[in-house]
Structures are given as structure tokens and as C-alpha cells.
Amino acid sequence: MLMHAFSSLNSETKKAIYLVCFAVGVVGASYGSLATAYGFPLWVPLFSTLFVLAGASEFMFVAIIASGGNPLAAAVAGLLVNARHFPFGIAVRDLAGTRLKGLLGCHIMNDESVVFGLSQSTPKQRKDAYWLCGLGVAIVWPVGAMAGSVVGKLLPDISAIGLDAVFPAILLALVIPSLKSKTTLIRASSGALLSLAVTPFVAVGMPVLISMLGLLTRKK
């Protein structure tokens, strides 16, 4: 019955969403392992993954605290990293819903759910893709973090087995077919170059926003 609620989505879209959710779970395992390695109790990654649900902010928070930073400063830094959620919220206001459903719809708003939601062709497909991906991420992120916390007790540096490379590898595999379009290739390349150029000079999370300027590139 649950899958019937997302019946407007074709199998390829669902497969892409499942792959991204799997990749998010793997990154969650890396986060849980890192938090454990830094000496945080289990409830910290559990609480943050359930109620914050913002990967970059959570990574930054534990890293700043572990390095001796002020918790308030770490929280502010996390909020700045996720400042992109303001334009995201405007873009998906019709997908998130209203009232009580809207609260959950806003909570599951993330990069992945927004991208999948806005990339569909009909209103029903956009809403289904947004909710399927958002709910999937909301489930696999804390599950992955808890698994990573357990593994982290045995393997403090989970990056040693390359799990941190799974997420970008899957995203790249999903994006490659779209690069057959010359316009898409030019804009994606421009955005990537902009992101790389500003990375040493701006806060974490900002290069992703700045890369969107690549959409303004026009082929000659």
C-alpha cells in the first residue's frame, strides 16, 4: 500500500532514489563512526540524525566540538551551512504540504529530496518523488549512523575502507547519462569549476550554492 502511494513514479526514478538513499545510509555510517571515534556518546548521533537531519551540519558540529570549539559556535556554523534550505523551502512549498503534514514535509527537505522532487514532469510525480526520497533519507540516515557507531567501536577510522567514496560515486553514476546533452555538460562543468575555485575561500556548504551559477552559462 505504501508503494502504491508513489505509483506515479517510473521504475528508473524509483531505482535512482533507492540508490541515493543507500548512499546516504553509507555516509550516515561514516558519520556515526566519526562521532564515536571523537568520543561522543551514542545518543548524540542518534538525536542529531533523527531531529536535525542535515548531514553537513552534523559533521561540522561534531568536528568543531571535538576540536575544542564552543557548542554555540558549532550550532551557528551548522545553521550557516544549511542556509540553502531557505530557497529550497520556497521552491518546494507546494510539495511539502501544509499544517501537520507540512511540518514533516519540511523536516524531510534535503538536497536529494529537493532535486528529485523538482526534476519530475508532473505535479503528482514531483510530490511523490519528494516524499519517497525525503522519507527514505529520514530512515536510512539514522539507521546508517547507528550502524556506523557500532562499527566505529571496532574500526575507529571507517574511511579506511572507502565508505566515504560511495556517495559521490553513486551520484556521478546517476549524473553521467545527462551529460550527453552539450548544454548540460557545459553548465555542469562550469558549476564544478566555480565550486572548486571558491572552496578554499568560503565556508563549508557555500561552494554547492555558488556552483548553481553554472546554470547561467550558455553555449556559443
pTM of the model: 0.73
Nearest to 158 by CA among 169, 147, 168: 147
> Which tens digits make up the pLDDT trace of 92-115?
889 988 888 889 999 999 988 998
**Residue-wise pLDDT tens digits, 27-73:** 888 888 888 878 888 899 999 999 998 888 888 788 778 878 788 87
Report CA dihedral (126, 130, 133, 137) to the nearest 10 degrees: 170
How many angstroms separate the CA atoms of 87 and 96, rounded?
Answer: 14
pLDDT, tens digit, 9 for 90 and up, residues 139-154: 999 999 999 888 877 7
Q: CA-to-CA distance for 71 and 64, rounded, in angstroms?
A: 8
The whole-angstrom separation of Cα 82 and Cα 196 is: 19
